[in-house]
Every structure is written in structure tokens, then in C-alpha cells.
Chain A
Amino acid sequence: MFKELDPLLHSQLRLAVISILIGTEEADFVFIREKTASTAGNLSVQIEKLREAGYISVEKSFKGKMPRTTCRITPAGISAFEKYVDALHSYLQPK
């Protein structure tokens, strides 16, 4: 039986963000933007959606005089990611 795919994660950019954060302790907004080859505006919107869902936490600080945005995945985000990967497997290897 097919499991339902989390619509919040089943989008290219949001899935890319969550996948980067699952493998790291924390990542800077600039790092995520470079690795996902996205625009700052679009990435900000998608990060905000993930933050609102409680999947990631976002911390704003200053590095010298430059503003810095650091993202971390939350336990709810890890759980959602695991369920999403499980659901993907059910589609690829249906019983």
C-alpha cells in the first residue's frame, strides 16, 4: 500500500534544504543557497514554511557587522524526513 508523501517535503527546494540539514549540525543560509543553487528570495520563503511547520529552527545573529542566518533541523523535522523517505520506498518497492 502506498503511503502519503508529506506535501511540505515533496517539493524540490524544501526537500533539498531538509536533506542538507539532516546531514549537518547547522548550516548557514549562504551555504544552503550555494548548494541548492536557489535565489535568496525563494529560499527565504521555503525556509520560513519549514520553520512554521516546526521542521527547522532558524537563528539570526551577526558575524561582525554582517547578518547571519543559521538553520538547524528539529526532532520533528528528522521524524518527518524519516517518514517521507519511508513513504518514497513504498512507492519504489510496492508490496
Chain B
Amino acid sequence: MEKLLNEKESLELIGQMINTAKNNLEKGTGKIFLLWGYLVAGISFGTCILSMILPKQTAYDAYLLWFLMFFGIPFHFWLIKKRENERLVMTYIEKLMRWVWIGFTLSVLVVVVGMLLDTVILSYFVSRVKEGNDFVYWFQWLLLTPIMLCLYGFALFVSGKAYEFKPLVIGGIICFFASFFLFFSIHKTGVMYFQQFVLGVSAVAGFVIPGHMLNRKEYKNV
């Protein structure tokens, strides 16, 4: 049966239907935020504590904890696959956000892999020349956390504004402030431990708290 509408009813129906998918949040997004949020926060706090406990000569070994991040990758793809199977609609915002987060991941990889490779090359060069100015060998690592926080801030802020979800916007702003603050404290003694602590707090503010709130919102939307 085809029901014909008058002009006013037609316009009302159009508005009503367009709004059905507006600000749609893909089910499962919250879990992805929680995976990386807890992983980054746990590793940051772990590194901070471990580097204070370990003897001074081996304190930097605590940073090896960051290799645990690789364990997040299979879980991430499992969550993505699950989300894809449950997805019933894709809005233009979701499509755009997908590319924003892919861009974010590539930016993180460029910075981390770039620094790792640079360190390997520099350590080889410095150990051969033995000029005694090997500060360049480790100085770049002081910039890693503020750069990461700036990238977190960007992705969270844009996502929060696109989905009109305030906790993500607030998380993004906290990451921006944390990044700004860490750039200014680079010269302080013991800044490496402090950076890890700030990174952990930012991961909780930017990923863990909004992740739990997203989960609750997705559950309510079902």
C-alpha cells in the first residue's frame, strides 16, 4: 500500500528521517577507546613507577614497557571486525572520522618509527665518533610525549565536535594543555618520569572516561 502525503507532511517526514542517523555513534567505538586508553594509561603509570624504582643506570629500561602496545593491535582489529559486523548504517561523519583516526595512527607511526630509526642511526654514529656530545641521541625522546599528546588532542577534539560528544572535546582540550605544559617543562630535572605521569592522566581523561561514557551512550541507544 502506498500512502500519499500532502506537502507539509512530506517535509516533516524528510526532516524526521534525515535526523534518524544524525550523530549516530557506531556501536563498539567506546570499547576501542577503552582498549587504547587503559593500555596507554597502564603503561605510562607503569613506566613512571618502574623508572623510579629501578637503579639509576638501568632506569631507562622501564621504557621497554612501551613495546606492550603491540599487544593492543590484534584486539583492535578484532574489535573493528566486530563493529563492522554489527554496523547497520554509515553516516558521512563516521566515514570522515574513520579517515581522521587512520590519519592520526599514521602520524603516530611516523613520529615513533622515525625516532626509533633515528636513534639506531645516531647511536651507531655517536658510538663510532665518540665526540662526547651524545645528548642528541636521547634529547629527541623528550619531545615524543608532548608531540603524542598534541596528536591525541587533535583527534579527540575533532571527533568530539563531529559527534557532538562533550567528554571527547574536554579530553582533547586536556591533552592540548598537557602537551603545551610538557613542552615548557622539557628543561626540568626528572622530566621523563613526570611526562609519563602526565601522559597517563591524559589517557584517562581523553580515552578511558569518554570511552566508558560512550559505552553507556551506545547501550542506551540500542
Q: Which residues of A line the B interface, CB within 8 A?
A: 5, 10-16, 19-20, 22-28, 30-31, 35-36, 42, 63-64, 85, 88, 91-92
Given contacts A10-B10, A11-B2, A11-B3, contact A23 B85 (CB under 8 A): no
List, sorted by A's number, 8 A–B pairs whose CB atoms are closer than 8 Å: A5-B7, A12-B2, A12-B13, A13-B2, A20-B17, A23-B22, A24-B91, A31-B89
Give the complex CA separation of A14 and B14 in angstroms.
Answer: 11
Give the complex CA separation of A85 and B10 in angstroms.
Answer: 9
Q: Which residues of B contact A27 (CB under 8 A)?
A: 21, 88-90
Chain A residue nearest to B11 in the complex (CB): A88
Q: Which single member of A26, A64, A88 contacts B7 (CB below 8 Å)?
A: A88
Give the complex CA separation of A64 and B92 in angstroms.
Answer: 25
Q: Min CB distance, A14 to chain B, in Å?
A: 8
Given contacts A10-B10, A11-B2, A42-B1, contact A28 B94 (CB under 8 A): no
Give the complex CA separation of A93 and B46 in angstroms.
Answer: 66
B7 contacts A23, C-beta separation under 8 Å: no
How many residue pairs bridge A and B at CB < 8 Å?
A: 79
Size of the B side of the interface (Cβ < 8 Å), in residues, is 27
Give the complex CA separation of A14 and B20 in angstroms.
Answer: 16
Interface of B is mostly: helix
A11 contacts B4, C-beta separation under 8 Å: yes
11 further interface pairs, Cβ-Cβ under 8 Å (given A14-B2, A16-B13, A23-B22): A12-B2, A13-B3, A19-B18, A20-B17, A23-B19, A24-B92, A25-B95, A35-B21, A42-B1, A85-B11, A85-B14
Q: Min CB distance, B23 to chain A, in Å?
A: 11
Q: Which residues of B line the A interface, CB within 8 A?
A: 1-5, 7-8, 10-11, 13-14, 16-22, 85, 87-92, 94-95
Interface of A is mostly: helix
Q: Which residues of A contact B5 (CB under 8 A)?
A: 10-12, 15
Q: Which residues of B contact A88 (CB under 8 A)?
A: 7, 10-11
Interface centre among B11, B16, B17 (most CB of A within 10 A): B17
A19 contacts B14, C-beta separation under 8 Å: yes
Q: Which single member of A13, A20, A91 contacts B21 (CB below 8 Å)?
A: A20
Q: Which residues of A contact B20 (CB under 8 A)?
A: 20, 23, 35
Chain A residue nearest to B86 in the complex (CB): A63
Give the complex CA separation of A35 and B11 in angstroms.
Answer: 17
Q: Which residues of A contact B7 (CB under 8 A)?
A: 5, 88, 91-92
A23 contacts B91, C-beta separation under 8 Å: yes
Q: Which residues of A contact B88 (CB under 8 A)?
A: 27-28, 30-31
